[in-house]
Amino acid sequence: MSKPIIKSKKILFDGNGAPRLVRMGVYVPRVAQKAQPGQFVIVMVSDVGERVPLTVVDTDADQGTVDIIFQEAGMSTKLLGKKEVGDSIEAFLGPLGHPTDVKKYGTVCLVAGGVGIAEMYPVAKALKEAGNDVSMIIGSRTKDLLFLESELKAVVDRLLVATDDGSKGTHGFVTDVLTERLKEAQFDKVFTVGPVPMMQAVAAVTKPHKIPTMASLNTLMVDGTGMCGSCRVTVGGEVKFACVDGPEFDAQLVDWDEIKNRNAAYGEQEGHVCRLEGVS
């Protein structure tokens, strides 16, 4: 069986002191035919590399391609970012996880931060096609880290922006925008994806309003098929595996402190490996 081939590559953010943001289209026909909004894939750059979970941003079943967007944060994503069009990668497994429960809720709000914006694009498109009124709030540290704005504007009813430094949209966080929106609008459902503290804050904002809120969890994963248990999370007092039970869970039942502690467990080792391999 031939290896997945990179068919397109675009640098969305060139770094400038921060991790680069890259969009890639990979030729994997069987994944392209089956992937649904909210699902993810596991990518291996080489046969000795780690397995990295990445969100499916878009698919083209006719061309057999799946688009992913990733930040060059660790060694594996940095090595993936060095690949060019025509290069192969070792493996591209998926689609994995449960797709988003897409149906007509009524009025929905999607809240995404950082690379999480990528995951929300197919979800936003599907929810709009299902007949919902869709608001979307996106945020980043600065305007240069925003992406997919034109694509999102084409599929949602309203797009609101927040930046930490005030370089675009509201000067502040996505939760500031959500709080203001809830003074004038009521949502039947909220979906959120992004940094763990952001998703935790979104859940805190929606809870007093009793709005059902789903969070897509970006926990540590190894195999992505429920065998290793590294992605375990506690939801409503029960242990779940994000890869096979999720990745979306009731945000108001998630043990957020547990996730933050587990996600930080290997930061020192990751930096050490990058230095040993000379990957910056």
Q: What is the pLDDT of residues 13-53, one digit of tens each?
A: 987 777 899 999 999 999 999 999 999 999 999 988 889 99
pLDDT at position 62 over 90: yes
Per residue in 104-126, pLDDT tens?
Answer: 999 999 999 999 999 999 999 99
> Residue 130's pLDDT is what?
98
User: Which stretch of DSSP H or E encloses residue 206?
Assistant: helix 196-206
User: Which stretch of DSSP H or E encloses residue 65?
Assistant: strand 65-71
Confidence of residue 270 (pLDDT cuts 50, 70, 90): low
Confidence of residue 269 (pLDDT cuts 50, 70, 90): low
Share in percent of the chain as helix, strand, coil (round to 5): 30, 30, 40
> Residue 16's pLDDT is what?
73
> Residue 196's pLDDT is what?
95
Confidence of residue 266 (pLDDT cuts 50, 70, 90): low
> Residue 279's pLDDT is what?
52
Six-digit token pair at 121? 């694009």
Contact yes or no for 61/72 (Cβ under 8 A): no
Who's near 190: CB < 8 A, 6+ residues apart? 108, 109, 110, 111, 178, 202, 206, 211, 212, 213, 214, 251
pLDDT at position 275 over 80: no
Six-digit token pair at 156? 């949602």
Mean pLDDT of the chain: 92
- DSSP letter at 10 equals E
DSSP helix/strand/coil, 32: helix
Six-digit token pair at 245? 């039970």
Domain boundary assignment for the chain: 5-96, 107-263
d(CA 26, CA 7): 5
Fold: same for 5-96 and 107-263: no
Residue range 5-96 in CATH 3.10.310.10: no
DSSP helix/strand/coil, 80: helix
Confidence of residue 2 (pLDDT cuts 50, 70, 90): confident
> Residue 19's pLDDT is what?
85
The whole-model pTM stands at 0.91
What is the rounded average pLDDT of the residues 56-65? 96
CATH class of 107-263: alpha beta
Per residue in 199-228, pLDDT tens?
Answer: 999 999 999 999 999 999 988 888 888 888
**Cα 188 to Cα 108, 115, 173, 206, 227, distances in angstroms:** 6, 25, 22, 11, 35
Per residue in 130-179, pLDDT tens?
Answer: 999 999 999 999 999 999 999 999 999 999 999 999 999 999 999 999 99
- Pairing of the two strands 158-163 and 170-171: parallel
